[in-house]
């Protein structure tokens, strides 16, 4: 029987049921986004779930890129062991100050897919609303 999971973002289908998917690429993409988008110690019952990526966004761009790449590698080794990480591409848009992280990985069925996560680069020691004070 094929694996079935709730499709993210959470939604209700036209029949009033929770939207679900059986596509392995979508299921694993949602899992990757969940791990990379969660700050370490954010979940009370799972304090080891997530990464330190949000903290790296307050560093310089080159430092942030190195830390994000390291955190993605650590997340795949520790929290997504069924996936085989192949490449992490971190690109920067100087105009909008956004870092885009593309993660290319192999699924357990050997299919190679990529997931894109966009992150806002905030340089400085404090969040921008606190630096203006």
pLDDT tens string 42-86: 999 999 999 999 888 788 888 889 999 999 999 999 999 999 999
pLDDT tens string 87-123: 999 998 877 778 899 999 999 999 999 999 888 776 6
- Are residues 99 and 124 in contact, defined by beta-carbon separation less than 8 angstroms? no
Q: Distance between CA 55 and CA 123 in Å, rounded?
A: 11
Task: Give the CATH number for residue 105.
Answer: 3.10.450.40
CA angle 104, 10, 53 (to 5 degrees): 45
Q: Which domain holds residue 93?
A: 5-10+17-131
pLDDT in the model for residue 20: 87
- Are residues 51 and 38 in contact, defined by beta-carbon separation less than 8 angstroms? yes
- How many folded domains does the chain comprise? 1
In degrees to the nearest 10, what's the CA dihedral of 35, 40, 41, 46? Answer: 30
Q: Distance between CA 7 and CA 5 in Å, rounded?
A: 6
């Amino acid at each position: 029987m094929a694996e079935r999971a709730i499709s993210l973002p959470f939604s209700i289908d036209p029949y009033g049921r929770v939207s679900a998917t059986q596509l392995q690429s979508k299921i694993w993409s949602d899992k990757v986004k969940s791990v990379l988008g969660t700050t370490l110690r954010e979940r009370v019952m799972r304090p080891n779930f997530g990464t330190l990526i949000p903290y790296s966004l307050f560093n310089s761009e080159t430092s942030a890129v190195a830390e994000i790449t390291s955190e993605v590698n650590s997340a795949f080794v520790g929290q997504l062991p069924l996936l085989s990480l192949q490449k992490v591409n971190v690109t920067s848009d100087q105009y909008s100050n956004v870092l885009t992280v593309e993660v290319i990985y192999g699924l357990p069925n050997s299919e190679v897919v990529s997931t894109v996560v966009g992150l806002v680069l905030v340089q400085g020691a404090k969040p921008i609303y606190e630096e203006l004070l």
